[in-house]
Amino acid sequence: MNHLLVTGGAGFIGSNFVHHVLGTTDVRVTVLDKLTYAGNRASLDGADKQRLRFIQGDICDATLVDELVASVDAVVHYAAESHNDNSLHDPSPFIQTNIGGTYTLLEAVRRHNVRFHHVSTDEVYGDLELDDPDRFTPTTAYNPSSPYSASKAGSDHLVRAWVRSFGVQATVSNCSNNYGPYQHVEKFIPRQITNVIDGVRPRLYGAGLNVRDWIHAEDHSSAVLAVLTHGEIGRTYLIGADGEMNNKSVVEMILELTGQPADAYDHVTDRPGHDLRYAIDSSSMAEIGWAPRYTSFRGGLAQTIAWYQEHEDWWRPQKQVTEANYARTGQ
Ligand code: NAD
Ligand code: DAU
């Protein structure tokens, strides 16, 4: 593989992947990104300009997508509307981008016989009880809760149908919650870190007992590259790093690492339909020789806090409008 098309490469996980690929391989990368409120061209600053081309455009634009897909060896598809809370207020762009955009890409890779990797989420499986001994596996039944997760579930089904019906050369990965640099301040961890920087108390939805299975974005990037190079066509891989923790414990760790009192947070209105727990069985990734490098969540979190402290120019322009949106729902 010499040339990748990365959709959503100016978003959180997409930009981490582009830096990872340019930093660890000789591959050239073309990024296709609409630059919605969640995309930021500055997230690609510092990348090797000789091997990176940036195209601002929509994955629903069939003519543009066809032209770009025809020029590459493989597509890695990250572009999406990604925030559950937003999907509860206006599901429409989630349906258009996550389902319509994935369809547009699949038709293009089908026409040009180009390898496709679809980046998806563990949320397609719904949630688990806190004491459930089982974790999500590639055979867990789909049971999405929010418009966001339902739209991602729909896109996963399209990919599988295009593999089976048309012989498209595709793989799918479903990953757990990512943290790390370049994550939008609407998301849980960067929201609380930047609140603390601003002297505002962190906000916990409900009792704060919901569990997420945290993985560093750098580990997600190495996992996607491993699936792209060693994955079996038609298979689904579950990516996780054994990082289960409830939200209250995450907030307490942020407070401790920033020198604040352990109880300096507030409980706010819960998310409607809030998934209780996600947990990943990542043995499908062990089969292809992948393992996470960030084995200490505390260490990765400390590094992430330092990144937000040092990159205020990156997140500051988004902070006020994000908090104004949350204020409307009492969150
Ligand atoms: P993000 O919101 O930070 O980035 C999404 C990017 O897609 C942005 O740059 C945005 O401009 C772009 N985009 C949106 N609509 C587009 C369109 N129509 N055409 C072109 N570009 C468009 O999201 P993220 O957290 O980086 O997530 C990336 C992918 O990874 C998503 O598919 C998401 O479902 C998946 N995922 C995320 C997580 C997580 O914890 N954040 C975990 C598992 C899977
Ligand atoms: O599991 C993978 C998914 O993880 C991805 O598919 C999504 O794109 C990504 O956004 C993430 O979804 P979550 O809904 O789990 O992430 P979020 O950061 O929005 O919230 C994490 C947890 O923190 C969740 O239980 C809700 C809670 N929360 C969130 C915010 C923004 C709070 O308690 N307070 C907050 O202010």
Q: What is the DSSP code string of 104-168?
A: HHHHHHHHHT-EEEEEEEGGGG----TT----B-TTSPP---SHHHHHHHHHHHHHHHHHHHH--
Task: Kindly report the protein residue whose alpha carbon is nearest to atom 19 of ligand 2.
Answer: 187
User: What are the φ/ψ torsions at residue 251 (nearest 5 degrees)?
Assistant: -60, -45
Looking from the CA of residue 187, the nearest atom of ligand 2 is 18
Q: How far, in Å, is the centroid of ligand 2 from the Cα of 294? A: 20
Query: Is residue 52, in this structure, part of any structural domain at all?
Result: yes
For residue 239, the cross-strand partners are: 175
Residue count of the chain: 331
Q: How far, in Å, is the centroid of ligand 1 from the Cα of 185? A: 14
Query: Is residue 159, in this structure, part of any structural domain at all?
Result: yes
Q: How far, in Å, is the centroid of ligand 2 from the Cα of 187? A: 6
Structural domain boundaries, residue 170: 3-179+215-239
Pocket around ligand 1 at a 6 A CB cut-off: 7-8, 10-14, 32-36, 38-39, 58-60, 78-82, 97, 101, 119-121, 152, 175, 177-178, 184
Tokens of 71: 């020029």
Return per-residue pLDDT of the chain as tens, 331 residues. 999 999 999 999 999 999 999 999 999 999 999 999 999 999 999 999 999 999 999 999 999 999 999 999 999 999 999 999 999 999 999 999 999 999 999 999 999 999 999 999 999 999 999 999 999 999 999 999 999 999 999 999 999 999 999 999 999 999 999 999 999 999 999 999 999 999 999 999 999 999 999 999 999 999 999 999 999 999 999 999 999 999 999 999 999 999 999 999 999 999 999 999 999 999 999 999 999 999 999 999 999 999 999 999 999 999 999 999 999 999 9
Query: Is residue 38, in this structure, part of any structural domain at all?
Result: yes
Query: Is residue 165, in this structure, part of any structural domain at all?
Result: yes
Domain count of the fold of the chain:
1
Query: Is residue 107, in this structure, part of any structural domain at all?
Result: yes
Task: Kindly report the protein residue whose alpha carbon is nearest to atom 28 of ligand 1.
Answer: 78
User: What are the φ/ψ torsions at residue 210 (nearest 5 degrees)?
Assistant: -65, 140
Query: Is residue 264, in this structure, part of any structural domain at all?
Result: no
Query: Is residue 208, in this structure, part of any structural domain at all?
Result: no
Measured from the alpha carbon of residue 273, the closest ligand is 2
CATH number at residue 170: 3.40.50.720
Query: Is residue 25, in this structure, part of any structural domain at all?
Result: yes
User: What are the φ/ψ torsions at residue 159 (nearest 5 degrees)?
Assistant: -60, -50
HEC assignment per residue over 49-103: HHHEEEEECCCCCHHHHHHHHCCCCEEEECCCCCCHHHHHHCCHHHHHHHHHHHH
